[in-house]
Chain A
């Protein structure tokens, strides 16, 4: 990733960017973690490799408030979530300098992340500079989801009941999600109380299903919620189920095309009738 470091230094020197969001190796935790580079002297520590699993776009709204020009290193899936955030006016594209890397997949616990098997684009759709090769898109396999779909309804309920019961409602899934940014989250509202605050099966189920539906057509499957859940709830399954329906109905994978509105935001003539009647006959 020499070119990446050279380019980053150049951008700092020319004052095109004030800060750069990237990854750095941290000796204390002996792992790679997100880091905000504020000075050109730090850039030599910039790292991008298979350990750069984190989606950095979620930090942009905060950081763009404090700095006018922000550089960011983007993988394919991160770029897709950035696209949606720009369309939704969460982030101003004029403040961003996107350094897109040709992602070769990332690792979670030294194994390739499951999301990488379903990746439609290894290079960010938004890119000012590109480093690395573009790979041909793979058709999503949704291997784990297919196992769930093969279950009978009671089996499936039993499976998710065990998982949802573990939830402590720490909302790490919400906080890490770049597309979960309502000013007042439905779970935080008191009057009316849509979702009860306590962590128990009924309200946990309500919370996770609501969140999955709110991400329909927007979730770029960056897999962050699934990775960080302290209780290891397989949240990606929910997002994948919704993503798969959107793909079947609208032939859209969220965030792959810049400037295109999410399918559930627009009403188009070509929209399938099923969205009104539900997918199951």
Chain B
């Protein structure tokens, strides 16, 4: 008997029904051509994509628009803090790259000296049921980012698709009850990790990346970048936000809104001065942040290798591509300096 348990394919919907009675259950759903996250509805035909879900799981913890306080303009001292729901929630079918993203969000929102209560609330009520990818996608490169599609770190339960069902395994102690549902049966089958492809988008060490600050490279690489927010908004580890007060139908709210270093307005200061007023500076900032600054500040580089930025990019020339060129450039420079 292995430490995996088996769920037969025909029992999937019964399993989900049972799970959704105790949890607010989120699963991937195909809408038009894209996979998004949606709440499980008993009438749904459930499918899991072979690799990444187009929509990053970030939005379930840190939505694009997040009210943090409500207030009434007519009454003084009427500020009320927004509280998160405490209903248990399960996210089923997320991948190792999503879990890596959550790991990074934890570092930023929980362990960097300040605790974001709203994020903590969402995090505490959530159970992560991860899935091992069937295969790596066209743009996937988690294997080049110290991870792999079968990495289980950060998950509470992990499952893997097999021809006639699913294999489940418990990772943390958080959830002893779920795997004891009668539908999961003991099995001899085990998961054997294949040799995952790697080496497509390797990146240099953080100190070497930070060394390129004054390089001419950034002008060349940003010639064709539009500096739209596509890559940052789809990125599971881009967490910048701005705070705004908004009034709608008499109700006033203070909200956090996604913002991105790719906009020129992001770095514009009072009085109009803008220290990052050209494409090159903005592209450089994002790249150095992913592979350099984040390492210094939060102890790990923040690219998880999900490849969503490539899918989103209008020019299909996004970030991993820049990272790869940069790495080549660093190698060239090193070779040249050793030769000289």
Contact = CB atoms under 8 A, between A and B. Distances in A.
A6 interface: no
A33 B279 contact: no
A62 interface: yes
A197 B242 contact: yes
B116 to A, nearest CB: 18
Nearest to A170: B229
B257 A33 contact: no
B34 A196 contact: no
A97 to B, nearest CB: 17
A34 B312 CA distance: 16
A175 B222 CA distance: 14
Given A62-B223, A227-B314, A232-B34, A202 B228 contact: no
State which size class the interface on A falls in. Answer: 35 or more
Interface stretch (B7-15, B120-128, B182-190, B315-323): B315-323
B265 A172 contact: no
B224 A168 contact: no
B223 to A, nearest CB: 5
Contacts of B205: none
B248 interface: yes
Contact of B265 (A33, A188, A227, A232): A188
A64 to B, nearest CB: 11
Nearest to B312: A230
A226 to B, nearest CB: 11
A230 B228 CA distance: 11
A196 B254 CA distance: 12
B265 A185 contact: yes
Given A66-B219, A228-B314, A230-B230, A34 B64 contact: no
A13 to B, nearest CB: 23
B233 interface: yes
Interface in A22-78: 26, 28-29, 31, 33-36, 54, 58-59, 62-63, 66
Contact of B310 (A29, A54, A188): A29
A198 B255 contact: yes
Contacts of A170: 228-230, 232-233, 260
Contacts of B35: none
B162 interface: no
6 contacts: A54-B314, A62-B279, A169-B64, A172-B228, A198-B255, A199-B257
Q: Which 10 A-B pairs have the closest CB atoms?
A: A170-B229, A228-B314, A172-B228, A175-B228, A188-B265, A198-B65, A175-B226, A198-B257, A170-B233, A199-B64
